[in-house]
Amino acid sequence: MEANYQIDNTDLQIIALLVEDGNIPYTEIAKKIFVSSGTVHVRMKKLEEMGVVKKMQLMVDYHKLGYDITTFLGLFLSRSAMYKDVVAALEAIPEVVACHYTTGTYSLFLKVLCKDTKHLYELLHNKIQKIEGIQRTETLISLEESFERPLQLPV
């Protein structure tokens, strides 16, 4: 890969079309932005090598699979030096779907999916709050997700 590859408008157009529809074939992308499908393939390979495109992922409606509670947890660490160990322990818990190291009130901010309040209680009591380095937690239950979307890039 070229060391000084610069992302251009063609790359942004490819990304925008794939964000809109991850199933769109490279041939259709090529037609829409007036390049060859080979160009789309090469550009995507470069974007993946650069880490701009991490992976294609299936979007699942977990509520329809019985995960009725989306919770956000603010975690307070007993010592900031425990950060890496705490994150490693959290990563082993499947219900923790996102973890952010933050400024402000919390040290870590998590997104957690649970089937019901009993599941949430067991997860908090038996797993998360037992991780060494977590001083305390604050739980916020989402009543409704109004929207979630990818960033719309200017093209």
How many CB atoms are closer than 10 A to CB 107? 22
pLDDT at 149: 85
Domains of the chain: 9-50 (1.10.10.10), 62-142 (3.30.70.920)
pLDDT at 67: 96
Mean pLDDT of 30-57: 93
Mean pLDDT of 98-125: 97
Which stretches does DSSP call E strand in 3-106? 69-77, 96-101
pLDDT at 3: 61
- Residue 60 reports pLDDT greater than 60: yes
What tokens appear for 40 in the block? 């789309």
pLDDT at 1: 46
